Structure 1
Amino acid sequence: MARRIPQSFIDDLLARTDLVALIGERIPLKKSGRNHMACCPFHNEKTPSFSVSEDKQLYHCFGCGESGNAISFLMAYDRLDFVSAIEELAARIGVDVPRDAQDGPDLRPLYALLHTCQKFYREQLQSSEGQAARDYLAQRGIGPQTMERFAIGYAPAGWDRLATKVGIDRETRRQLQLAGMLVVRDGKTYDRFRQRVMFPIRNRRGQVVGFGGRVFNGGEPKYLNSPETPIFHKGREVYGLYEALQANRRLERLIVVEGYMDVVALAESGITNAVATLGTAMSQEHFSLLFRHTNRIVICFDGDSAGQKAAWRALETVLPEIRDGREVRFLTLPAGEDPDSWVRTHGAEQFIDAINKAPVLSEYLVGRLAQLCDLDTVDGRARLAALARPMLEKISDPVYKSLLASQIEEVVGTAIIKRERTTVDRRRGEKSRVRKKPLVMTPLRRVVAFLLVKPTLAAECGDWGWLSELSMPGLEVLHNVVESIQSVKTPNTAVILERFREAPEYQALKRLLGWAEHVPETILDDEFYAALKALKASARTQKLDELMAAAKERSLTPEEKALLKRLLSQPDVHK
């Protein structure tokens, strides 16, 4: 799958990615010299040993040895596969991931077509026919700037207004149907959305992938969403995320609400970090998406019974995504209130204050379970423990799991889970407790390590043609590293390392890079040239011995004789 994405695109993507910003959105970094430091997110530690290099666009933990580039970090921290990590980085800088024919049909026409639909609905909202929709939005307190920011539109009355205006030929109508904009029933084609306020649903790159339509003059259903299409999957998208990312350079938190109007109304009040699900319950994939952009999420559903049931389902769903450093709060609104009505009544400042005082996940969970049990009785406390155990089992982070269990145990008065001998780092493996054998740094390994940490050395030291003439174990790896450096216009460490992701020597190269990170920059160049000189001497001596031994058993070829003559003429061969 990785090979289907052009290497040149991956190189450019890594060159344009700010690794410090990417990691800083997930864990707190502190400037330390030329690098940024933090406690490692991949093993348990109290003293920061996790270093992020802005120059090299690499991270390295001096404690557990974990290292890599932006792609590696997303794969390890966000638990994405390779292609998803590429897509995540592409979304951050607003570009599409190029694909070849093996990846299926070209979906760009669908994106372009939905953009045209959005434009049509915007025009209709501004027309005389859209006056009633504009009046409705004004009544809800939504001003022109907010309408513009969310590209709100209007689907006019009539069965085929969109089909007539946009579906200018048979192929376009087929594409409109594929995109969920037209419905075919009993041999007739008509618009899916009619006489509704239209909310375009945009992905993180700002591409329209679907629509939500709301009635404003009676009728059912109140909300109508696009169906599942090749570019729209309700379980993977949330409404308002693109707009939140555009309005906030750094998202301190995201507020999850139930409806489009809640998101828009909050934005009108100056609260620009709200998102909404698309007519479905919050999924683990939704939470995974949101946690890529912030470590703090607030669940703020309506105050009615259905809203509170949805909040509890959200709690159960988020448990596998919870880990040390992430925070989820639950804001319970009064019955009959939703975020839109609450903010209009009490104001944005009080809403933010209520969020700051809302219980975190652990408090909300224990509080809700306590309401179901009589804690004054043994049976009641036993029931609470029984209800809590399966929820604790959903938590993969051992630190958070242990802390939450301790909080519940304070209520029930007894241990409710069996703790392993080592309660931290089971999810991340044994890397924090297993010491790898120290590397034996031969001249060859030193040269490779220094080239990885400072690729410009490859051009500074002249011709590498001697690599093809000599033979010794490992020279092929060096040749591949040099070749990769020479093939990149502006090589940096992150780009070069990425080119070996699928190679057998990838892990070995990461270890060498980790070793080189310990070498002070002031002596790095001298150390490189000393290692290169020693490597050349060793390789020449080995090749010379091979040729001399061969000459005793057979006649050398003309090429071998010429190489032997050159090797013998070099004074430093025996040094």
Structure 2
Amino acid sequence: MTLTPQWLDELRARVTLSAVIGRTTRLTKAGHEFKACCPFHNEKSPSFYVNDAKGFYHCFGCGVHGDVIRWMTDQRGLAFMDAVKELASEAGMEVPAPDPRAAAKAEQQAGLHDVLSAAQDFYRAQLDQPEGAKARAYLASRRFDAHTMERFGFGYAPGGRQALKAALKQFDEPMLIEAGLRIAVDDKEPYDRFRDRLTMPIHDARGRVIGFAARILDADKKDAPKYINSPDTPLFDKGRTLFNLHRAGPASRQSGRIVVVEGQMDCIALAAAGIAEAVAPMGTALTERQLEMLWRLVETPILCFDGDSAGQRAAMRAATRALPMLRPAHSLKIVRLPAGMDPDDLIKRDGVGALEKLLAQPIGLLDLIWEHERDAAPLTSPEDKAGLKARLMAHVETIADRDIQALYRRELTERFSAFAFPRREERAWTPGRKSAPPVPQRSAQQSRRLNHATGAGARDGLSAAILAGLLRYPEELRRHADALAHAPLGDPRFAALVDAVDGGEALETAGLHTILIERGLAPPTPDDYASLRFGFLIEGATPEVARTDLAQAIGLLVERPEVEMALAAATERYERELSDDSEREHRRLLKRKLEIDARVMQMAGATGDSLMKLAAQRMAD
């Protein structure tokens, strides 16, 4: 149907705004307006005003603003068309007739709602059957009470490939496939999507089932994903859906906050602990649409992601999505959980009070960006520090609001200056003062060989070789994701592959090639590492040997910049202290750096014995 601006203006003019709001909110006459305590946030004195003449409401406390249609969608939780129809009925207006295509789409969606509602009833009933014992045992291990289990509608999908179809025989096969409940592959018989899994219904803002999340119950199925969600359907769009929003939205108006966690189980655990205003994205990074949905509820949602490296990377991805969208008073706050813990772990160990304490002391978006980029790479040279400044300013340039951009630039520039140019204590020169031991000198041939395999100009070759190894053995990505994420590697292709692991992408060679290309990153070619003959790049190498060599190469790639950074600090410390301890530490690190260089040469097919002997000789000298 076509709702013209003129028709919508007529609808607003025919409906008295104060009468609609007054049904659920107590209004008091205040001159030509009405006032009340704001229904969108807690307050003791009225700051919410309704103006019938202008047709809008506004709260001077929280900034919420809208017309009568916005009131019906935000406060009542109705979809836009449902709000329009209800208001039109009250105003005695006829809603324009839909065109045939819109009518068919509406009918299809109504039918899919029936299918998903029936599927939820089936899964819920199966939880109480003998076959659902594993699912009940898992829920018992999570210590969810009966109220929580009933409220979130847990169910069980039987292991049979045709169980759901047999139970929902009143619906045609195409409708079951369209609803995302069945999978059709080429000319084979379709089969149930969710099998032998604990199920959780996903609802829209009106509380209607639009899809399912399902958790694996058999721990032996290591290759299967722990959680799977319904695919995108006419009802379910994972980028536009937040789990538990229909419950968290009303709760957030009372608490004044919304908490975003990583997964559905985290969300349920918080609700069971009394934190009802928690939502979760659908297994992906927060999207721009989801951020807008959050900002319609509160101005500064709190991200409370897991304390592991994947959780912190997810927080940073959300930050980079939010930066271009920032506007006055709207931002994000971030809570850092203890390492290796999710919200449920913390609640079980220390009680909900411990989590509440963290939620009360989040860091800001600017703090997150500063700390992330400061810790992303070694900062031992002017070039390193210039790189830090460039990364910070690159974030700033993405902010569309010019005032916010200017404030971020000023704050980050001041932090960078204080960090990069700290005040240093002046020390008088002492006659006879020693300097740090020199770096061992190599012959021209040795230098060329070492630079070829490990030098600054060839580090891209080593990185390219390892990238090629990861693409050849993509399952190794999951094993090494944390190490690669924490290492100060300059090649953005590593970050792209780690993001694929965090995002639950299928770890397949072709798919990873596509991910790199879609991000504007060229996959490595043999020309990039032609002179480096690592075992994991040799055709016909046994997978076990190749994976071992790849793990060793990654370990060296990750360790080398850390050793170099520590060596630079040790050199500076020795020059400052001139002590035996600092000299021993300097020599130890220098020896380790040369050992790493030699080992890389050996693995790359060069002869590293001479360099190893040279390193030992120089250390002895």
Structure 1's 184 and 145: CA in aligned 2 closer, same or farther, altered over 3 A? same
Displacement, 1:132?
2.5
* 1:175 and 2:188 are equivalent in the alignment: no
Structure 1's 347 and 224: CA in aligned 2 closer, same or farther, altered over 3 A? same
Q: Which residue of 2 aligns with 1:283?
A: 287
Q: Which residue of 1 aligns with 2:588?
A: none
The code of the aligned residue for 2:80 comes to I
1:221 pairs with 193, 211, 225, which one?
225
Q: Which moved more, 1:402-411 or 1:192-201?
A: 402-411
* 1:344 and 2:344 are equivalent in the alignment: no
Where do 1:213-252 residues align within 5 Å? 213-218=214-219, 219=221, 220-250=224-254, 252=256
Q: Which residue of 2 aligns with 1:202?
A: 203
**8 Å contact 1:4–1:100 — kept in the other structure?**
no
Question: Could you give the per-residue CA deviations for residues 184-218 of structure 1, whole angstroms, max 9, x where no partner exists?
Answer: 23421221111111111111011111111001232
Structure 1's 369 and 130: CA in aligned 2 closer, same or farther, altered over 3 A? same
2:80 pairs with 83, 86, 94, which one?
86
SS at match of 1:325: coil
Q: Which residue of 1 aligns with 2:165?
A: 163
Displacement, 1:239?
0.9
* 1:117 and 2:119 are equivalent in the alignment: yes
Over the aligned positions, Cα root-mean-square deviation in angstroms equals: 4.3
Where do 1:69-468 residues align within 5 Å? 69-70=67-68, 86=80, 99-103=98-102, 105=105, 106=107, 107-168=109-170, 172-185=172-185, 186-218=187-219, 219=221, 220-250=224-254, 252-372=256-376, 379-413=383-417
TM-score w.r.t. structure 1 length?
Answer: 0.59
Partner Cα distance (2:341, 2:58) in 1: 48
Partner Cα distance (1:88, 1:377) in 2: 61
The code of the aligned residue for 2:411 comes to Q
Structure 1 gap ranges (5+): 23-29, 39-48, 62-66, 79-83, 415-575
Q: Which residue of 2 aligns with 1:58?
A: 56
The code of the aligned residue for 1:182 comes to R
Greater per-residue helix proportion: 2
Identity %: 35
**8 Å contact 1:19–1:58 — kept in the other structure?**
no
Partner Cα distance (1:69, 1:280) in 2: 33
**8 Å contact 2:215–2:226 — kept in the other structure?**
yes
Displacement, 1:258?
1.3
The code of the aligned residue for 1:203 comes to D
Partner Cα distance (1:384, 1:148) in 2: 50
The code of the aligned residue for 2:100 comes to A
**8 Å contact 2:12–2:55 — kept in the other structure?**
no
SS at match of 2:336: coil
Structure 1's 68 and 298: CA in aligned 2 closer, same or farther, altered over 3 A? closer
Displacement, 1:175?
0.5
**8 Å contact 2:322–2:331 — kept in the other structure?**
no
**8 Å contact 2:17–2:56 — kept in the other structure?**
no
Displacement, 1:243?
2.1
**8 Å contact 1:323–1:400 — kept in the other structure?**
yes
SS at match of 1:129: helix
**8 Å contact 1:254–1:275 — kept in the other structure?**
yes
Question: Could you give the per-residue CA deviations for residues 329-388 of structure 1, whole angstroms, max 9, x where no partner exists?
Answer: 111222221112112112112101112212111111122222236778654543333112
Structure 1's 264 and 376: CA in aligned 2 closer, same or farther, altered over 3 A? same
TM-score w.r.t. structure 2 length?
Answer: 0.54
SS at match of 2:147: helix
SS at match of 1:214: strand
SS at match of 2:306: coil
**8 Å contact 1:201–1:239 — kept in the other structure?**
yes
Structure 1's 349 and 241: CA in aligned 2 closer, same or farther, altered over 3 A? same
**8 Å contact 1:253–1:298 — kept in the other structure?**
yes
Displacement, 1:7?
5.3
**8 Å contact 2:79–2:206 — kept in the other structure?**
no
**8 Å contact 1:382–1:412 — kept in the other structure?**
no
Corresponding pairs, count: 386
SS at match of 1:327: coil
